[in-house]
Chains A and B, each alone.
Chain A
Amino acid sequence: MASPLDQNATSCLLNMQNIFKSFGSVDVLMDVNFDLYPGEVHILAGENGAGKSTLIKILGGVYTDGSGSMVVNDKEVDFKSVQDATSAGISIIHQELSLIGPLSVWENIFLGKEKSSYQWLDKSHMVDYSRKILEKFDLDINPKRAVDEFSIGIQQMIEIAKALAFNARIIVMDEPTSALTEPEVKKLFKIIEQLKEQGCGIVYITHKMEEIYSIADRITVLRDGQYIGTETAENLPSEKLIQWMVGRELDQQFPRHAPHVGDTGLQVTDLFVPGTATNPAPRVNHVSFSVKAGEILGIAGLQGSGNSELLNGIFGTYGKSAKGSIKIDGAEYIPDSPAASIQRGLALLTNDRKTNGLVMDLNIIENATLASLPAYSRRLWLKPAAESKAAKDITKSLRLKAESLYQYVDALSGGNQQKVVMAKWILTHPKVLLLDEPTRGVDIGAKHEIYELMNQWTKDGIAIVLITSEMPELLAMSDRIIVMHRGQVTAEFDRDNATQEKILTAALGERKTA
């Protein structure tokens, strides 16, 4: 088989040249080029707001008013709709799930492409076909069950299966692994290998460095809507890639300073969170640990290990159903509501800012003060001046970039949205910060700023509990790491003796003996 990079041997699957696109007076793509050959994984890299999604939406027929030339399979195309793109063999797996929860798996896979004879749906054929597709992905699930009965990770795999069910040759994956566990990621990469062998071309978007270098053949970088360059993965080491993406050199990717550890800030004893109706196993099973002021404790664990539920249990998200005791600065209480936890100095940055972090219908100021509003009101009356001053100061110190503090938060980039959530929690003057995936969907420059902020907060004496699915981030930022598996702690490591292998072993359920 010809090497995918032997560009003369194989004809080009996709060639986009001189692509321009603007929203009103704002140019979001300026003279961008992108091409794709059969059998290659072509990474589209760039910070949030670089124009990646816009380019993908032009390719997918979502935006139809971009200019430039687009050639698919040696044919000049001009997509007028998503259907046009689909029938040209382009399939896009979007970052946000596009599945319809209450419908069954097969209904989702065949949505809009139902097989029927005279208006009667050919259900058995579609169910069988769906089962075959799912088997290709090692997904042993019943296609007749509703999608929302499955975990987010499985749903993501269903989404991918759906996108690949109908012989697409150009496959776009926009951060497909953000909700997947390690084994699922491995499975996905195996599938990508198969697709390459079948002659498909894959456009892959991710913010995870390690992912880029484990699957990339070529990398194209965009920055602020401009085309920076395309290079093979071997010829573009990570330092140079980051430099291309941010336009400057980052002195250090993970700048954890030496901790200033103080007294015990948070002590959790015997925390228990019961299971759900669909999964009766306890989500958190009698977990105890402590964090000192000024310390960052990392909690590792695969999807479903209960680490996120642990943070929510501590914070009182589950109300009275969670059991156990919490001590903050020595004062003991039982976590039964978020309001009570906030008063005692706890803050939880949830892992999904869109679902339960931000109120998109409120502006930046209103979001920033939401958790500390009593401090900015006299009795029942709001004090708008005090409120906007507090928001202004905190967003400035977090280096939030926005046209105006009165703009709705949904117009902000991922990194800046995350900073609004952080502003909200810092304004509550927390003693303990529970950070669940603080850098998810955040571009590299902003990630770096968030690391620096974590350093600053611990220096100010805040105790931090950190969950992140990015192993290098966890290893670099944590002073201590505990590992969870099925709701229980299976290992604890100091910063110095934690390695990726040890953590993964413990996360897979091997108990460290003695």
Chain B
Amino acid sequence: MSQLLKSPKSSWLTSPTTRALGALVIVFVIGLIFNADGAFLKWGTHRDMLRAVSVYGLLACGMTLVIITGGIDLSVGSILGISAVSFSLFCIHFSWPFYIAIIVCLLIGLACGAASGLIISRFNIQPFIATLAMMVFARGLAKWISGGQKISTAVQQADGTYEYVPEPAVFNFINSKILWDNISVVTVIFLVCLLITAILLAKLRLGRYLYAIGGNEEAARLSGVPVNAIKVLAYAMSGLFCAVAGICQASQELQGDPEAGFTYELSAIAMVVIGGTTLRGGRGGIGLTLLGVLIIGYLEKILSINAVGEDKRLMLTGAIIVGAVLLQKTKK
């Protein structure tokens, strides 16, 4: 058996895709066994799971781009927060048309990400530090914009009383399900962003440069790759996906919470790493991240339909992250 594993022909057996897929299958089988009186066998359960992971998945898309360059983005949760607050503010208080609100939110996310990227590449500061700073700054910005309040449909009037305004239609649309209630709009948005990331990584020159920078930044620079610009772009793309996630989050909660997205960066990183993209950079891909998203999503869902308490859920999730990463380390 060890003979077989060592021979080059069996390399697909040890490839990260096979491993992540294997882990997903195991989780899925567990779900089939502990199916909570058939709850796991209903499409609605899967649809709800997909809906629940979509916001995290959006963050994981950007995180994948950044991690492939050998960096990390700790600011994703905070940028989500700014975006959620701004979107609510624009739609509910300013009554802007939804498309303008969306565009401005995307630009805010893009700008935050680009700022991290510029600090990292221009001043040669470690991504961990630069995005940690952005994480703190953006959270502050979200609280400042919102005045520390949740931006909801209860709008304070001039005389100090609150009056409920109707929910903006765009909130309801994003929060709805389509195809005869079979799939959530947020899931569709996530899948579209996933596809964009996949194309970017596999088909565009930019994608090749991301891998090259993560693999060997100095070799890439000496080969004429515009390293600094590409890095800024990677963080800007991450910021953009965070803004999309923030819009989805605001729509789902029907409000803009300045605390939205708190600690989400850790889930996003976990999803990328469980998928098999290495934190070292240079290897991995968005397909792996999708598998990571599904593994965590199913795990949470199975635990929740079986009414496992949050305490045990967190402990189990922690253990499983270690297990999944160990599984990938066995490759020499």
Seen from chain A, the residues whose Cβ lies within 8 Å of a Cβ on chain B are 23-26, 315, 317, 338-339, 341-343, 348, 350, 355-362, 366, 370-371, 373-374, 377, 380-382, 403, 424, 428
A55 to B157 CA separation, bound complex (whole angstroms)? 83
Q: Is the CB of B8 within 8 A of A338?
A: no
Q: Is the CB of A381 within 8 A of B205?
A: yes
**Interface residue stretch chosen among B18-26, B181-189, B215-223:** B215-223
Which residue from chain A places its CB closest to the CB of B4 in the assembled complex?
Answer: A24
Q: Measured between C-beta atoms, what is the minimum distance from A65 to chain B in Å?
A: 10
**Contacts of B107 on A, CB cut-off 8 Å?**
none
**Contacts of A366 on B, CB cut-off 8 Å?**
208, 211-212
Q: Is the CB of A424 within 8 A of B223?
A: yes
Q: Which B residues between 19 and 36 are near A, CB-CB below 8 angstroms?
A: none
Q: Is the CB of A348 within 8 A of B222?
A: yes
Q: Measured between C-beta atoms, what is the minimum distance from B218 to chain A in Å?
A: 4
A428 to B224 CA separation, bound complex (whole angstroms)? 10
Q: Is the CB of B219 within 8 A of A358?
A: yes
Q: Is the CB of B219 within 8 A of A24?
A: no
A144 to B53 CA separation, bound complex (whole angstroms)? 53
A342 to B209 CA separation, bound complex (whole angstroms)? 16
**Contacts of A339 on B, CB cut-off 8 Å?**
224-226
Please indicate which of the listed interface residues B8, B205, B219 has the most CB atoms of chain A within 10 Å of its own CB.
B219
Q: Measured between C-beta atoms, what is the minimum distance from B232 to chain A in Å?
A: 16
Q: Which B residues between 276 and 290 are near A, CB-CB below 8 angstroms?
A: 281-283
Q: Which B residues between 21 and 78 are near A, CB-CB below 8 angstroms?
A: none
Q: Is the CB of A360 within 8 A of B6?
A: no
| Partner pick for A361 among B204, B225, B282, CB 8 A cutoff | B282
| Partner pick for A362 among B203, B206, B215, B281, CB 8 A cutoff | B215
**Contacts of B215 on A, CB cut-off 8 Å?**
359-362
Which residue from chain A places its CB closest to the CB of B199 in the assembled complex?
Answer: A381
Please indicate which of the listed interface residues B209, B212, B216, B224 has the most CB atoms of chain A within 10 Å of its own CB.
B224
**Contacts of B204 on A, CB cut-off 8 Å?**
380-382
B161 within 8 A of A: no
Known A362-B211, A380-B206; contact A23-B6, beta-carbon cutoff 8 A: yes
Q: Is the CB of A358 within 8 A of B224?
A: no
Q: Measured between C-beta atoms, what is the minimum distance from B202 to chain A in Å?
A: 8
**Contacts of A342 on B, CB cut-off 8 Å?**
223-224
A350 to B220 CA separation, bound complex (whole angstroms)? 12
Q: Is the CB of A356 within 8 A of B205?
A: no
**Contacts of B212 on A, CB cut-off 8 Å?**
359, 362, 366, 370
Q: Is the CB of B205 within 8 A of A355?
A: no
Known A361-B215, A362-B215; contact A356-B222, beta-carbon cutoff 8 A: yes
Q: Is the CB of B219 within 8 A of A359?
A: yes
Q: Is the CB of A370 within 8 A of B8?
A: no
| Partner pick for B205 among A317, A357, A361, A377, CB 8 A cutoff | A377
**Contacts of B203 on A, CB cut-off 8 Å?**
381-382
Which residue from chain B places its CB closest to the CB of A411 in the assembled complex?
Answer: B8
**Contacts of B223 on A, CB cut-off 8 Å?**
338, 342, 370-371, 424
| Partner pick for B6 among A24, A317, A338, A348, CB 8 A cutoff | A24
Q: Measured between C-beta atoms, what is the minimum distance from B106 to chain A in Å?
A: 20
Extra contacts, 4 of them, besides A348-B222, A356-B219, A359-B212 (Cβ < 8 A), are A338-B221, A342-B224, A359-B219, A371-B223
Q: Measured between C-beta atoms, what is the minimum distance from A270 to chain B in Å?
A: 23
Seen from chain B, the residues whose Cβ lies within 8 Å of a Cβ on chain A are 3, 6-8, 203-206, 208-209, 211-212, 214-216, 218-226, 281-283
Q: Is chain A's interface secondary structure helix, strand, loop, or mixed overall?
A: mixed
Top 10 nearest A-B pairs (CB, nearest first) are A361-B282, A361-B215, A24-B6, A359-B215, A24-B7, A371-B223, A339-B224, A356-B218, A342-B224, A359-B216
A355 to B219 CA separation, bound complex (whole angstroms)? 7
Q: Measured between C-beta atoms, what is the minimum distance from B120 to chain A in Å?
A: 17
Q: Measured between C-beta atoms, what is the minimum distance from B291 to chain A in Å?
A: 20
A424 to B224 CA separation, bound complex (whole angstroms)? 11
A315 to B222 CA separation, bound complex (whole angstroms)? 9
Q: Is the CB of B205 within 8 A of A374?
A: yes
**Contacts of A373 on B, CB cut-off 8 Å?**
205, 208-209
Q: Is the CB of B222 within 8 A of A317?
A: yes
List 9 contacting pairs A-B, 8 Å CB cutoff, sorted by A: A338-B223, A348-B222, A350-B222, A359-B211, A360-B216, A360-B282, A362-B212, A370-B225, A373-B209
**Contacts of B209 on A, CB cut-off 8 Å?**
373
| Partner pick for A370 among B3, B214, B220, B282, CB 8 A cutoff | B220
**Contacts of B3 on A, CB cut-off 8 Å?**
24-25
Which residue from chain A places its CB closest to the CB of B213 in the assembled complex?
Answer: A359
**Contacts of A382 on B, CB cut-off 8 Å?**
203-205, 208
**Contacts of A343 on B, CB cut-off 8 Å?**
224
Which residue from chain B places its CB closest to the CB of A374 in the assembled complex?
Answer: B205
A412 to B215 CA separation, bound complex (whole angstroms)? 17
Q: Is the CB of A357 within 8 A of B219?
A: yes
Q: Is the CB of B218 within 8 A of A338?
A: no
Q: Is the CB of A25 within 8 A of B7?
A: yes
A381 to B204 CA separation, bound complex (whole angstroms)? 4
Which residue from chain A places its CB closest to the CB of B226 in the assembled complex?
Answer: A339
A377 to B206 CA separation, bound complex (whole angstroms)? 11
Q: Is the CB of B205 within 8 A of A380?
A: yes
**Contacts of A348 on B, CB cut-off 8 Å?**
222
Which residue from chain B places its CB closest to the CB of A359 in the assembled complex?
Answer: B215
Please indicate which of the listed interface residues A339, A359, A366 has the most CB atoms of chain B within 10 Å of its own CB.
A359
A445 to B147 CA separation, bound complex (whole angstroms)? 73
A348 to B223 CA separation, bound complex (whole angstroms)? 9
Q: Measured between C-beta atoms, what is the minimum distance from A479 to chain B in Å?
A: 26
**Contacts of A371 on B, CB cut-off 8 Å?**
223-224
**Contacts of A315 on B, CB cut-off 8 Å?**
222
Q: Measured between C-beta atoms, what is the minimum distance from B9 to chain A in Å?
A: 9
Which residue from chain A places its CB closest to the CB of B283 in the assembled complex?
Answer: A361
Which residue from chain B places its CB closest to the CB of A366 in the assembled complex?
Answer: B208
A237 to B204 CA separation, bound complex (whole angstroms)? 55
Q: Is the CB of A359 within 8 A of B220?
A: yes
A178 to B205 CA separation, bound complex (whole angstroms)? 37
Which residue from chain B places its CB closest to the CB of A353 in the assembled complex?
Answer: B219
Which residue from chain A places its CB closest to the CB of B6 in the assembled complex?
Answer: A24
Q: Measured between C-beta atoms, what is the minimum distance from B320 to chain A in Å?
A: 27
A343 to B8 CA separation, bound complex (whole angstroms)? 39
Q: Measured between C-beta atoms, what is the minimum distance from B22 to chain A in Å?
A: 22
A338 to B226 CA separation, bound complex (whole angstroms)? 9
Q: Measured between C-beta atoms, what is the minimum distance from B107 to chain A in Å?
A: 21
Which residue from chain A places its CB closest to the CB of B206 in the assembled complex?
Answer: A380
A315 to B214 CA separation, bound complex (whole angstroms)? 23
**Contacts of A361 on B, CB cut-off 8 Å?**
211, 214-216, 281-283
A343 to B225 CA separation, bound complex (whole angstroms)? 12
A377 to B202 CA separation, bound complex (whole angstroms)? 13
A361 to B218 CA separation, bound complex (whole angstroms)? 14
Q: Measured between C-beta atoms, what is the minimum distance from B227 to chain A in Å?
A: 9
| Partner pick for B216 among A24, A25, A356, A428, CB 8 A cutoff | A356
Which residue from chain A places its CB closest to the CB of B223 in the assembled complex?
Answer: A371
**Contacts of A359 on B, CB cut-off 8 Å?**
211-212, 215-216, 219-220, 282
**Contacts of B224 on A, CB cut-off 8 Å?**
338-339, 341-343, 371, 428
A24 to B225 CA separation, bound complex (whole angstroms)? 38
Which residue from chain B places its CB closest to the CB of A421 in the assembled complex?
Answer: B219
Which residue from chain A places its CB closest to the CB of B11 in the assembled complex?
Answer: A407
